[in-house]
Structure 1
């Protein structure tokens, strides 16, 4: 990772705390993410297979870099229990520079 590698904030919903914890631990353990925050108890309303559904989910906020995103995406798709998991990456435009440097360095040894 370089000092200029863009930091990303990725959003991913999971059906429950167990699947969220499993995914978060894999991503951080495999150095694909520096940190993952869990936000339990969100309500999601969406259209799936022609039906409007509301479910309780857990939201993961995943901090990573652009360089690690493709590998992170492949791992999410491999581990996630949903047929079509949500994974949205938003570039971090500004932040506390030492924290952003830590996110960049978290993929190293």
Structure 2
């Protein structure tokens, strides 16, 4: 998969979101992660309607890493079925997109 993607997951709290974010950035799977508190999620789970406070983690990566990033999030996540969705970036600041390349290049990691 070519191009650049925003990958999102929700977590039960800031600590879990930060642990996921630090791991995937450290491992070069994402260039950065924004952690957004104050998310309210309403969803159906096992036949019940749930209304929960969650934290959103928004990650930027290269298309070639989406599958590996998804697998790593699933390993780190506390939810039985974590949300992991990837949205393709149609356009963006060229310098920023090159920075994503630099940060997610395995040879560029120090």
Q: TM-score normalised by the shorter chain: which range applies?
A: over 0.9
Matched, 1:26 2:23: yes
Q: Which has the higher helix share?
A: 2
Rounded Cα–Cα distance in structure 2 between residues aligned with 1:102 and 1:27: 16
Q: CA deviation at 1:94?
A: 0.7
Partner of 1:41 in structure 2? 38
**Residue 101 (structure 2) aligned to one of 83, 101, 104:** 104
Matched, 1:75 2:72: yes
Partner of 1:93 in structure 2? 90
Rounded Cα–Cα distance in structure 2 between residues aligned with 1:57 and 1:97: 32
1:29-71 deviations in Å (ceiling 9; x for gaps): 0000000000001000000000001000000110001111111
* Structure 1 runs, 4 residues or longer, greater than 2 Å off: none
Q: Which ranges of structure 2 fall in alignment gaps of 5 or more residues? A: none
Partner of 1:12 in structure 2? 9
Q: TM-score, length-normalised on structure 1? A: 0.93
